[in-house]
Amino acid sequence: MIEAIEATFIQLISGIAWGQWLAAGFLLVLGIFLGTMLARSVGRLVESRTSRHHQVLIRRLVFYVIFVLFAIAALREAGFSLEVVLGAAGILTVAIGFASQTSASNIISGLFLVMERPFEIGDVIEADATIGEVVAIDLLSVKLRTPDNLYVRIPNETLIKTRVVNRSRFPIRRIDLVIGIAYAEDVERVRDLLLGLAETNPHCLEEPRPFVLVTGFGPSSVDLQFSFWVAREDFLEGKGGMMVAIKKALDGAGIEIPFPHTSVYAGSHSEPFRIQLVGSEQQQEKELPDVDNKT
């Protein structure tokens, strides 16, 4: 019995064309190796001429083309006919497509993202309540690095569906600051003071011109909007620096920045209103006055 199994096993092993399989495996490994090497050198070649985004795209494309070519050669070597493989792949795609709708949708969304190019690698975007720098645009998802250094993965499908704000698309940005001043203050004087601050601040651009708008009369303050432009990379410094400068300048000029006031009166300090009831004497006797019965 054991001898029979052994004989069958030996027959099975000797039946496999080891040489062909080894050659196919070698071709696959060679494909991966050559693809990586070539992608790397092409990436280096285009490094100085293109953006990081395009460089990554070109590298991926080179790698996949080389790998697919070698994979086809490997299948041939292993004795598969390409037509059969493609046919099987077609059936398999339908089956897999039904089974993994999410992945397929993400892949297609990814393709649209690459074509539409709403953002590139290195841009700071705001999507799905997350702000971060795009570190990778992959087949299924986009990876972000948030300012507090978290790695966030957002599926491509979500990016296609939701509103995405690209904060790095244009080289300059406007900062709008809302400032409330007391009703007693001279609005024109405050406007001149704020525009003077914009003129002296090195981050603030001369053009487009900064401006001050009165946006409303709030419950405890006159609300002003102070808008000025900065270079994209100076946004944080420009905003923070200007806030400090405004506080200093308004304090220096004796201009009040009011905060909501609430006055609470304790009952014992205020005399109650005097109420006199007018009506028949009977009623007066029945209903005692609530507040003051001395009158």
Partner 1 sequence: MTEQTESQREGVWAHPYQLASGQTQQHQLGHTRVWITLLDLEWQVREEKLDIHSDPLHWQETLGHTVPSADIPVQRFVRMDDQGIVRFNPAMGCRPTVIRPFQPLTIPAGGRCLLYVGTSLWMKVCVGDGQTELTEIPLAVPSMTWLGRNTMEGELCYASSTFGRLALEAVPKRPWRAVTPVTIINRREQALLLERFSLPTPLLALYRNERGQLWTPGVTVECETDMNSASLNIEQSVPACAGQCQLVAPPREKLAKGRRLVRAFDRMFG
Nearest CB to partner 1, comparing residues 172 and 182: 172
* Least distance from partner 1 to the Cβ atom of residue 32, Å: 40
Of the two residues 186 and 206, which places its CB atom closer to partner 1 in the complex? 206
- Near partner 1 by CB under 8 A: residue from 208, 216, 218, 289: 208
- Ranges within 167-196 binding partner 1 (CB under 8 A): 170-172
d(Cα 132, Cα 149) in Å, to the nearest integer?
A: 9
Which stretch, 21-29, 66-74, 197-205, 279-287, contacts partner 1 (CB under 8 A)? 197-205
**Angstrom distance (rounded) from CA 113 to CA 109:** 6
Residue 50: both structure tokens together: 């293109």
CA atoms within 13 A on the CB side of 221: 17
Q: Which is nearer to partner 1, 171 or 267 (CB)?
A: 171
Q: Return all residues near 150 (Cβ < 8 A) that are at least 6 apart.
A: 132
The count of residues interacting with partner 1 (CB under 8 A) is 12
Residue among 116, 148, 188, 207 that touches partner 1 (CB under 8 A): 207
Q: Which CB, 59 or 173, lies closer to partner 1?
A: 173
Minimum CB separation of residue 134 from partner 1 in Å reads 20
Closest approach of partner 1 to the CB of residue 79, in Å = 56
The residue count for the chain: 295
Q: Rounded to the nearest whole angstrom, what is the least distance from the CB of residue 170 to partner 1 in the complex? A: 6
Binders in 224-283 for partner 1, by CB under 8 A = 229, 231
Quickly list H helices, the chain: 2-15, 18-46, 52-77, 82-99, 101-116, 156-161, 187-200, 235-252, 281-286
Q: Of 133, 132, 140, which Cα lies nearest the Cα of 114?
A: 140
Binding site for partner 1 (CB under 8 A): 170-172, 202-208, 229, 231
